[in-house]
Structure 1
Amino acid sequence: MKKQAVAAGFVLLSFMLPLKASAANFSKFYVFGDSLSDTGNVFAATGGLVAPTTAIPQEPPYFQGRFSNQQVWVDYLGDELGLTPSPYITLNPTIPNQGINFAVGGASSGQGNAVVPNAPLPGVLEQVGLLTQPTLQANQKLDPDALYAVWGGANDYVFGQATNTTQTVQNLSDAVGLLALSGAKNILVFNLPDLGKIPLASAIPGLSSNLTALTNKHNKELADELGKYSKNSDLNLISVDVFSLFNQVEANPEKFGFQNVTTPCVVGNLQTTISVCSQPNDYLFFDSVHPTTGVHKLVADAALAAIEAKSIPEPTINLGILALGAFGVVGVLKRQQKRSTDQVFDAQLSHTTVKN
């Protein structure tokens, strides 16, 4: 029996190996989210392209408008896919359009901004509307070969004072539904890390346990809500379990190269820095809310692994066999991580940071 299983594994592996290449064959990369995904929108909106030291987030210590010390997951995954989505606020028609990043620091899951409520900055559902509404009005479809990523909700609970998960989860589900209705086929959806473990929550009595409870409820309801799309055979809905990833890092930080998983590297706020640690990459958190670039790299790796696991093979491959062997072969694929690096267009206007 064991020999048969091994033999089957090799056969399945021969089918699965081409999937890594097909996973990178997206035509464009579109991103919708908050500060964890923003690559320059808030930075540009607050004058960062002219005066980076007074913008949000302040540069330095933040990296080129990103809410981290270096690149964020969008940059890392984009490098793997050979695609650089341009921040929509600084979008220039002369730049080769490899996609658009609509993510805005402080974005609510629905409309508006939980951190800067009076600013004309779109929430996650609004961001999706910026792309889909012109398409729907023109009776056209979104590019089915593009990759679309949706990640939000944290600002509702941390800054928006939401005490119920229903509306937040519905906003994210509606965002996915609107993309699917408009023709999107490949959609990445991220759940939330344990918000009760961010340094900001730990500093306020009672906030940590409350945010942990909301996170758990949010993730469960989001998974249930997204399950409704499972019957749509034309939709490649790809879930990324950030919650488990963060828990693994916090439980065994040395394994992932971190020394401090509880306190932030930067003391201050997004516009006024009091102090910065000497070794940011030793920290899980760059400030009281946002992770360091090393964590973003892990998120990008998790997203790429999820994409590869859900990639659809050629029609001639027996889908029943593929489904049977997917779980076992994923482990083999993870050990074959020699990826070819594509030369990515260096979008000079992509200097931005995200505020959660």
Structure 2
Amino acid sequence: MIRACFICLLGLLAQTAHAAEPPAFSRIVMFGDSLSDTGKMYGKMRGYLPSSPPYHEGRFSNGPVWLEHLATYFPGLKIANEAEGGATAVAYNKISWHPKYQVINNLDYEITQFLQKDALQPDDLVILWVGANDYLAYGWNTEQDAKRVRDAISDAANRLVLNGAKQILLFNLPDLGQNPSARSQQVVEAASHVSRYHNELLQNLARQLAPTGLVRLFDIDKQFDEMLREPQNFGLSDTEHACYDGGYVWKPFSARSAASDGQLAAFAPAERLAIAGNPLLAQAVASPMMRKSAPLNCEGKMYWDQVHPTRVVHAALGERAGAFIESQYEFIPR
């Protein structure tokens, strides 16, 4: 409540006589995880993660991700993207010394990385889409965990406002129990429950902040629900099975494997431990056989791998997100 009231106060102080007009934006500043990563993890891991091929040019999919499709709606749009594969909302490295938390990124540090090289402008639209790794990759899937994720997102919004953000767009989560990963890990019920509860918390947060005009919410879960209900409308015929199944949790991180595979040897021991501790990242280090195999035919598939959508789904999400942004904001190219 204190977090919400703090942003409310800032918003009330910032309101002007033109508050009824749609806020203008010229650039998107993105914070998130692999669903929005356009190559940051790939660069961080020196071109080895995600393995490309079979992953597309450092994306966690078989094609461009939703964020890249926004240029169709907004020609000349500039994007500053700090989203990184594996990133969490909560900074678990501050509460646990487990090696798997020491390499991955988190929302607060993504903001730090942005502010170290750039500054928020009044015409930036800041988007936050994060939380799936907290619940699905690391198993923090109780209601108390969801409250901690919500608090991390709220704290991030406060920090962004204090650093000049004038408009923040929150994305909620799809039903995490519907993807192949939840079935593989046999956590369908827990993943579905925590993602629903997460969305309730985020909805309440957005409602509390609505009077400020600073924060809005995009219900991306509704887009995924529609795809599951009427997949044929999106060119989909299989909403349950992954197109790429290179082994959900295989064992590429042993000393013997690293010595025999130049790609794995490129990872430092801490990096291998961190990747092995996140099954969603571990799958993206493809086996030598998969890296050399012919491109996969993913026609009709909703999921590229155990959790990441195919390029067809990303294109649809980009279209829906673009339409929502167009209805809520005014794009003015710089």
TM-score, normalised to structure 1, is: 0.68
1:112–1:67 CA distance, 2 compared to 1 (3 A): farther
Query: Which AA in structure 2 matches 1:105?
Result: G
Q: Which residue of 1 aligns with 2:102?
A: 118
Q: Which residue of 2 aligns with 1:37?
A: 36
Find the partner of 1:165 among 146, 150, 155. 146
Q: Which residue of 2 aligns with 1:199?
A: 180
| 3-state SS of paired residue (2:211) | coil
CA-based RMSD of the aligned residues comes to 2.7
Query: Which AA in structure 1 matches 2:230?
Result: N
Aligned counterparts, 1:286-297, within 5 A: 286-297=304-315
Whether the 8 Å contact between 2:31 and 2:127 is mirrored in structure 1 is yes
Query: Which AA in structure 2 matches 1:126?
Result: Y
1:148–1:243 CA distance, 2 compared to 1 (3 A): same
Query: Which AA in structure 1 matches 2:166?
Result: K
* More displaced stretch, 109-118 vs 61-70: 109-118
Render the CA deviation track for 1:239-285: whole Å, top value 9, x for unaligned: 21111111110111111101110000001121125588843141100
Whole-angstrom CA distance in 2 between matches of 1:167 and 1:188: 19
Query: Which AA in structure 2 matches 1:290?
Result: H
Q: CA deviation at 1:40?
A: 0.6
Q: CA deviation at 1:133?
A: 7.0
Q: Which residue of 1 aligns with 2:63?
A: 70
Matching of residue 103 in structure 1 with residue 83 in structure 2: yes
Find the partner of 2:199 among 216, 219, 230. 219
Matching of residue 272 in structure 1 with residue 286 in structure 2: yes
Whether the 8 Å contact between 1:34 and 1:152 is mirrored in structure 2 is yes
Q: CA deviation at 1:111?
A: 2.1
| 3-state SS of paired residue (2:58) | coil
Query: Which AA in structure 2 matches 1:66?
Result: R
Whether the 8 Å contact between 1:201 and 1:211 is mirrored in structure 2 is yes
Whole-angstrom CA distance in 2 between matches of 1:291 and 1:134: 31
Q: Which residue of 1 aligns with 2:160?
A: 179
Whole-angstrom CA distance in 2 between matches of 1:129 and 1:227: 27
* More displaced stretch, 169-178 vs 193-202: 169-178
> What is the number of residues matched between the two proteins?
265
Structure 1: 5+ residue stretches without partners = 1-18, 49-54, 85-97, 136-140, 314-341, 343-356
Query: Which AA in structure 2 matches 1:215?
Result: S
Whole-angstrom CA distance in 2 between matches of 1:272 and 1:263: 18
Whole-angstrom CA distance in 1 between matches of 2:147 and 2:92: 18
Q: Which residue of 1 aligns with 2:127?
A: 149
Matching of residue 131 in structure 1 with residue 114 in structure 2: yes
Q: Which residue of 1 aligns with 2:26?
A: 27
Query: Which AA in structure 2 matches 1:198?
Result: N
Find the partner of 1:208 among 154, 168, 188. 188
Q: CA deviation at 1:79?
A: 4.2
Whether the 8 Å contact between 2:34 and 2:84 is mirrored in structure 1 is yes
| 3-state SS of paired residue (1:267) | coil
TM-score, normalised to structure 2, is: 0.72
Whole-angstrom CA distance in 1 between matches of 2:76 and 2:284: 28
Structure 2: 5+ residue stretches without partners = 1-20, 247-282
Query: Which AA in structure 2 matches 1:158?
Result: L
Q: Which residue of 2 aligns with 1:320?
A: none
Whole-angstrom CA distance in 2 between matches of 1:184 and 1:280: 39
Whole-angstrom CA distance in 2 between matches of 1:304 and 1:272: 32
Whether the 8 Å contact between 1:29 and 1:78 is mirrored in structure 2 is no
Whether the 8 Å contact between 1:264 and 1:285 is mirrored in structure 2 is yes
Report percent identity of matched pairs: 32
Q: Which residue of 1 aligns with 2:320?
A: 302
Aligned counterparts, 1:220-239, within 5 A: 220-233=200-213, 235=214, 237-239=215-217
1:255–1:99 CA distance, 2 compared to 1 (3 A): closer
Whole-angstrom CA distance in 2 between matches of 1:32 and 1:244: 21
